[in-house]
Amino acid sequence: MKKTLLVACAASALSLFAVNAQAADVTPVADSSGFYVSLFGGASFLNDVDAVQHYDSPSPDYDYTLDTKMGYILGGTIGMRVWDPLRAEVEVSYARWKADSYSGQNDDGGDKFSGDASGHVSATYLLGNLWYDIDTGTSFTPYVGGGAGVAWVDASTQFDDSDDYGYNDGEVGFAFQAGAGVTFDLTENIALDVGYRFKGILGVDFDARDSSDTEPYEHGDLYSHNVQAGVIFKF
């Protein structure tokens, strides 16, 4: 369901901008200083978050998976054109997802278990991005690119009604993204931006709800699919 909704949103947004670009006879924007700022928001779909509770032998380790509902992403960028087709920018963004369910199994082949989960997982990104603009000679400009940086991950989740189990406080991890989109010039200084971003955060450890009595959840990777729209202000 998540993938179907994601594809539908992306296809609808890109089709709308393609039609506008073909129908409109807008003169390409004049040269500017190259600096710009942008604001954006959209829907975010987080893949299942897998993590491991490691116990000393002879106790087995436990593998956990947290499933979340569709979330949201909000953010902004400051950037400049460093070369005719190439833009560099700094992005600060925030994503949040509501917990839905969990499952787990110990690694000695024990029975699987699962249940409802409550609470949320969130991430604050600080990324340096590079985007390559594809000049079409019109106000319609596709682009591709990506970036890397760090992300601060936090969580406050609860598995079933247990006070002991659930992903809690996270940590800082390496983050990256890759994406593509289109911009559509409204005026010489304002453009609309619709795009897709695949974001990842690697190797995050989460405290357990009762960190004094329960082992942490280790080596969690957060991968998300994001469909976003925003406004670019050029200077």
Distance CA 222, CA 48 (A): 8
Statement: residue 4 has pLDDT above 90: no
Q: How confident is the model at residue 108 (pLDDT cuts 50, 70, 90)?
A: confident
Is the domain spanning 2-234 CATH 3.40.50.720? The answer is no
**Chain-centroid distance, C-alpha 176:** 9
Statement: residue 28 has pLDDT above 80: no
Statement: residue 26 has pLDDT above 60: no
User: How many other CB atoms sit within 10 Å of the CB of residue 232?
Assistant: 20
pLDDT at site 59 = 84
pLDDT at site 8 = 45
Q: How confident is the model at residue 32 (pLDDT cuts 50, 70, 90)?
A: low
pLDDT at site 195 = 98
Share of the chain above pLDDT 70, in %: 86
pLDDT at site 98 = 98
Torsion, Cα 159 164 169 175, to 10 degrees, reads -50
36-80 pLDDT, tens digit per residue, is 999 999 999 999 999 999 988 788 899 999 999 999 999 999 999
pLDDT at site 211 = 76
* Domain layout of the chain by residue ranges: 2-234
Statement: residue 90 has pLDDT above 80: yes
Q: How confident is the model at residue 115 (pLDDT cuts 50, 70, 90)?
A: very high
159-199 pLDDT, tens digit per residue, is 998 888 999 999 999 999 999 999 999 999 999 999 999 99
- HEC assignment per residue over the chain: CHHHHHHHHHHHHHHHHHHHHHHCCCCCCCCCCCEEEEEEEEEEEECCEEEEECCCCCCCCEEEEEEECCEEEEEEEEEEEEECCEEEEEEEEEEEEEEEEEEEEECCCCCCEEEEEEEEEEEEEEEEEEEEECCCCCCEEEEEEEEEEEEEEEEEEEECCCCCCCECCCCEEEEEEEEEEEEEECCCCEEEEEEEEEEEEEEEEECECCCCCCCCEEEEEEEEEEEEEEEEEEC
Statement: residue 15 has pLDDT above 50: no
Q: What is the mean pLDDT of the chain?
A: 88
